[in-house]
């Protein structure tokens, strides 16, 4: 039951953004300035994920100098290779790469590159699927390799109202692929494309190795503001505890869904019988329209 694993796990929740850019690729701020921004915004960790392309020198930026007692960093990159169903390059988020990760080989396709990134230790996400207009066939190519789908991308939402990737995640879950879903900014700092979506990762230490292990295990939820405090299964029902919200929903295969609405909801119980044998995930929405999403719960 991946979506439940974060809550009984040891440690605390750490807030982080794993998709963002600096002037090492097509962002406008230096790596130091990007790290400083997220530290000052109260984040616990950051992955600077510049575009791993030849024209930028295939960067995996060493952000060690910008770590502090407050915030750590994870090395990574947004990696690219030919080609998706639209004949465009793939965008894959590789969080946890070694600094000496080799450039794209002359005959390396996206599946081979993704496989190599995971073997090197990365948490691999299918980046901004709605922005890329990825099809279910695209998703299937990566479903056996990737850990997660990027279900929220702040920059894509601001730039072209294509920030939501949940449809691809749900379509792959319906086929039995056990992926998780994370939110991120994809900030370039050319627009108000930052601090709009993040991961809350449950780990015993705010250190790269502990955070990556928790992410790969699905021990996180994602948010634009609300907190999911606890999820507990009791007698075929799911007890959901959150910060004050107006809607608590449970969604699953096909059109399966259930919800409770109110003015200051912090706790509710929803039956799981409609989702038995499949999956479900929790979505909470606050009065400002901001959401938090659990990872899928397999029943």
pLDDT tens-digit series, residues 243-291: 999 999 999 999 999 999 999 999 999 999 999 999 999 999 999 999 9
CB of 218 closer than 8 Å to CB of 233:
no
Instruction: Write out the two tokens for 218.
Output: 């699905």
The b/e string for 2-23 (b: 16+ C-beta within 10 A; e otherwise) is bbbbbbebebebbbbbbbbbbb
Non-local (6+) Cβ contacts of 298 within 8 A are 1, 2, 3, 178, 278, 279
pLDDT tens sequence across 100-144: 999 999 999 999 999 999 999 999 999 999 999 999 999 999 999
Q: 177-196: string of b/e by CB count within 10 Å (b at 16+)?
A: bebbbbbbbbbbbeeebbbb
* Among the listed residues 281, 264, 209, 286, the one whose alpha carbon sits nearest the alpha carbon of residue 14: 209
SS3 77: strand
Q: 102: buried, middle or exposed (CB in 10 Å: 19+, 13-18, 0-12)?
A: exposed
pLDDT averaged over the chain? 97
Residue 52: pLDDT band with limits 50, 70, 90: very high
The pLDDT of residue 57 is 97
pLDDT the model gives residue 73 = 98
* Orientation angle between helical segments 110-119 and 136-143, nearest 10 degrees: 40
pLDDT at 1 over 70: no
Q: Is residue 7 pLDDT above 90, yes or no?
A: yes
Q: Are 23 and 16 in contact (CB under 8 A)?
A: no
CB 11 within 8 A of CB 203: yes
pLDDT the model gives residue 2: 79
What's this model's pTM, rounded to 2 decimal places? 0.97
Q: Give pLDDT tens digits for 83-92.
A: 999 999 999 9
Domains of the chain and any CATH numbers: 2-222 (3.20.20.140), 228-298 (2.60.40.10)
Tokens coding 52 = 């791993």
- Rounded mean pLDDT, 157-182: 98
């Amino acid at each position: 039951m991946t979506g439940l694993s974060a809550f009984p796990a040891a440690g605390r929740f750490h807030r982080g953004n794993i998709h963002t850019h600096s002037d090492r690729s097509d962002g406008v701020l230096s790596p130091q300035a990007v790290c400083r921004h997220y530290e000052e915004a109260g984040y616990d960790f950051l992955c600077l994920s510049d575009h791993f392309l030849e024209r930028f020198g295939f960067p995996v930026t060493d952000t060690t100098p910008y770590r502090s007692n407050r915030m750590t960093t994870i090395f990574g990159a947004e990696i690219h290779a030919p080609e998706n169903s639209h004949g465009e390059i793939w965008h894959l988020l590789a969080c946890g790469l070694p600094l000496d990760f080799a450039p794209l080989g002359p005959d390396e396709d996206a599946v081979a590159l993704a496989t190599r990134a995971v073997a090197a230790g990365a948490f691999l996400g299918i980046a901004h699927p709605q922005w890329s207009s990825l099809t279910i066939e695209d998703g299937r190519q990566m479903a056996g390799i990737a850990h997660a789908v990027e279900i929220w991308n702040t920059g894509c939402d601001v730039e072209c109202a294509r920030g939501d990737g949940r449809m691809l995640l749900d379509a792959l879950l319906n086929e039995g692929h056990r992926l998780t879903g994370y939110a991120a900014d994809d900030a370039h700092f050319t627009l108000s494309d930052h601090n709009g979506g993040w991961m809350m990762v449950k780990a015993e230490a705010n250190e790269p190795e502990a955070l990556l292990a928790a992410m790969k295990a699905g021990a996180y939820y994602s948010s634009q503001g609300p907190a999911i405090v606890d999820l507990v299964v009791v007698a075929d029902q799911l007890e959901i505890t959150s910060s004050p919200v107006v809607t608590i929903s449970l969604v699953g295969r096909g059109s399966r869904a259930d919800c409770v609405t109110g003015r200051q909801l912090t706790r509710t119980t929803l039956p799981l019988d409609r989702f038995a044998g499949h999956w479900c995930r929790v979505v909470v929405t606050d009065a400002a329209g901001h959401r938090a999403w659990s990872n899928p719960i397999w029943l």
